[in-house]
Amino acid sequence: MGGVTSSIAAKLAFFPPNPPSYTVVVEANTGGHLSIPEIPATTRREGVEVLKLRTRRGNSIAAVHIKHPKSSAITLLYSHGNAADLGQMFELFVELSNRLRINIMGYDYSGYGQSTGKPTEYNTYADIDAAYKCLQEQYGVKDDQLILYGQSVGSGPTLDLASRLPSLRGVVLHSPILSGMRVLYPVKRTYWFDIYKNIDKIGLVNCPVLGTADEVVDCSHGKQLWELCKQKYEPLWVNGGGHCNLEFYQEFIRHLKKFVLSLGKSQASSTNNSSQKPTMDSNNLNKTSSGGGAADTFDLGPDIPEVSRNSLDSRIEKSKKADKPAKSRISTDGVDRFRKKKGLVW
């Protein structure tokens, strides 16, 4: 019965771009380094690594790590929505890294892009665990240097991991869902066959949480999750913001930057007060869903750094034109409009 339920849930929750928007190739004469040839030349930069990671469920997932040249040790682990892949998200990752001056890792769920396997709830939990393990072992990222970012359906794996890591720096919930069932129906309780039971996990998160909302996933989802947080940070409900374009709004970028800065100040304050948080090592990844190091202060600087012509600024200006509103990065055809009407683009 559980397998049937999981299969039905996957059909409702996951819409990987088909065909994938990118490929992964081995660069010649580089000792086996991987690259994504579809990345535009304007967004290529030093410090980008393309990775293939093995999950505990046997799948190989694609990931990218973007290192900011002036970053502190802070890293943001981004879990995207249900209708995008790394090829479509890459430019956004570069922009966020530039503007926030932090390192970013993004990954594709099993069955998305160049990741093997099929997209399921429990596969996404294994996927984010593999990305987290890579950050620990390959890049030396400690829990108190890590911010988890979950957009829409990505709030599921984000909160699942956050509920098991007591020393995280912070969590960002971008248009999150209370649970899969609650996106489709206004149910008052959690059923056993529901997926991404975020409402039951948010109370286990011990770090500051920033919430945002839009018009596709009802804002009540984000507001209720925020109310259940142990450590609340001033939320942002973007007036007129779309499900897949909140990053196009300057107020969103400013608020996100303010949040990241506040995490640096609070961490420095706790260090000065000699407070200790419990640490988390990779062994705790065994505490999966059924089925700390030294703190670093950092300064993002008061100004938003200069970015390319193809930056968010140019897209923001385009979105202001009444005769031609900007398209979401994942809304590519009429199928997406149908999914939105049915409440299936999370």
Q: Please answer whether residues 144 and 295 qualify as being in contact, where contact means their C-beta atoms are separated by less than 8 angstroms.
A: yes
Mean pLDDT confidence for 92-120: 95
- Kindly report the average pLDDT of the chain as a whole number: 76
Mean pLDDT confidence for 123-142: 97
115 an active-site residue? no
Question: What dihedral do alpha carbons 189, 194, 200, 201 form, nearest 10°?
Answer: -170
pTM, rounded to two decimals: 0.77
Phi-psi region of 106 (alpha: psi -120 to 50; beta: other; left: phi over 0): beta
pLDDT at 247 over 90: no
214 an active-site residue? yes
| Cα torsion 316, 317, 323, 324: sign | negative
Specify the higher pLDDT residue, 156 or 7. Answer: 156
Q: Please answer whether residues 112 and 153 qualify as being in contact, where contact means their C-beta atoms are separated by less than 8 angstroms.
A: no
pLDDT at 230 over 50: yes
- Catalytically annotated residue among 243, 255, 311, 328: 243
- Selection from 52-56, 170-174, 342-346 with the highest mean pLDDT: 52-56
pLDDT level of residue 25 (50, 70, 90 thresholds): very high
pLDDT level of residue 282 (50, 70, 90 thresholds): very low
Q: Percentage of the chain surpassing pLDDT 90?
A: 42
Residue 289: predicted pLDDT: 56
- Catalytically annotated residue among 129, 143, 214, 218: 214
- Catalytically annotated residue among 21, 152, 311, 328: 152
Residue 266: predicted pLDDT: 59
255 an active-site residue? no
Residue 210: predicted pLDDT: 82
Amino acid letter, 168: L
